[in-house]
Structure 1
Amino acid sequence: MSERRGVTPAQTVGPYLHIGLVWPDGRYVVPEGTPDGFWIRGQIFDGTGAPVVDALVESWQADPDGRFDHPDDPRGARPATVPGFRGFGRAETDAHGRYALHTLRPGPLPTPEGETEAPHLNLSVFGRGLLHRLVTRIYFPDEPANATDPVLRSVDPSRRDTLVARPSADGYQFDIRLQGEHETVFFAV
């Protein structure tokens, strides 16, 4: 008869992000010089307001037509019409907790219920001390469809601003607060 053993305890992510998960071109969802390309830059902060220097941000987004080149797109996978668009980005934080992604504005997305989601990026945050990735979204501040987006409408109105980027000189600023005052809204997925 075999001996029964307990469950192995969960392990946190890292501190190995910079060893195995960094891609030299990971921050480029589209190549630099792509027409209408812009940067999303931000910082990640812990619950005390200190920058998180060993985190990784992954983005996943639709193309400017609101399509995915993926079999899960209910309208069918279709390559993007923008050369070099890959829909996925990966950026590590630097010594000041800063990350940057070069991308394009995605198009709106239909939902299975017949509604429309406003243009947004899905983000996953990985870091030391996290047992699982944290998932959030970036919405654009000048987007009229934000008012009718079913996901954004489901968020407490007093916290929606934690999901909306701010304009910056070369694109948008989106800071992520893991805990504490003005904590970013994260989704259970």
Structure 2
Amino acid sequence: MLQTPSQTVGPYFAYGLTPEQYLYDFKSLVGNQLVDPLNTPDAITITGRVFDGQGQPIADAMIELWDPANKRFGRFGTGTDPQNRFVFQATKPGSVDGQAPHFWVIVFMRGQLIHSYTRLYFADEADLNAADPLLNTVPTERRATLLAQKAPGGYTFDIFMQGDNETVFFEV
């Protein structure tokens, strides 16, 4: 029987999903701009890094961002940024089905046999966050790991794969 991608240790996705990260001479089919920032007055930038269990930035992770309110999708490899960040251009999602504005975030990286799912909520949406049904299933002391913080021009959201600040991940 042949192995499937989820049975191998990545980054098996390099060639087809994040070619720029591995210096291939062609562009990914999906990029990090969920909107055109020059023609979208309310565009925001979301930046962050993925950290391993020792607190070191992971230089070859791939992050996918899904906006459920606007049905937009983006992908970015942390190795394409000199600071090993992920960077997305988007608009803040609206509320869907009584949920606070959020993005689904999917993390692929070396050493993981299957990707991890989390959510990015916005710290400046306290009232809506307080009423979000999924966020309310997370222990209070861990909710901060799901909150993007306001920064000039947008938001920052770091993902910790392990350790004291480990991000909450969900089974989907």
TM-score over 0.5 for the alignment? yes
User: Superposition pairs for residues 51-66 of structure 1, below 5 Å?
Assistant: 51-62=57-68, 66=69
SS of 2:128's partner is helix
User: Superposition pairs for residues 134-149 of structure 1, below 5 Å?
Assistant: 134-143=116-125, 144-149=127-132
Structure 2: runs of 5 or more not aligned: 19-27
SS of 2:134's partner is helix
Find the counterpart in structure 1 of residue 170 from structure 2.
187
Residues 124 and 150 of structure 2 are in contact (CA less than 8 Å); yes or no, is this contact kept in structure 1?
A: no
Structure 1: runs of 5 or more not aligned: 69-86, 111-115
Identity across matched positions, percent: 41
Which whole-Å CA distance do the structure 2 matches of 1:149 and 1:19 have between them? 38
Which whole-Å CA distance do the structure 1 matches of 2:52 and 2:83 have between them? 12
Find the counterpart in structure 1 of residue 104 from structure 2.
122
- State how many pairs are aligned: 157
Q: CA deviation at 1:24?
A: 6.8
Matched, 1:162 2:145: yes
Q: CA deviation at 1:96?
A: 3.6
User: Superposition pairs for residues 80-159 of structure 1, below 5 Å?
Assistant: 87-94=72-79, 95-110=82-97, 116-143=98-125, 144-159=127-142
Find the counterpart in structure 2 of residue 79 from structure 1.
none
TM-score by length of 2: 0.85
Normalized per residue, which structure has more helix? 2
Q: CA deviation at 1:162?
A: 0.2
Q: Could you say which structure has the greater relative contact order, defined with CA pairs below 8 angstroms and 6 or more residues apart?
A: 1
The aligned amino acid for 2:165 is H
RMSD: 1.9
Structure 1 residue ranges, 4+ long, deviating more than 4 angstroms after superposition: none
Residues 42 and 99 of structure 1 are in contact (CA less than 8 Å); yes or no, is this contact kept in structure 2?
A: yes
Bigger Rg over Cα: 1
Residues 124 and 149 of structure 2 are in contact (CA less than 8 Å); yes or no, is this contact kept in structure 1?
A: no
Find the counterpart in structure 2 of residue 13 from structure 1.
10
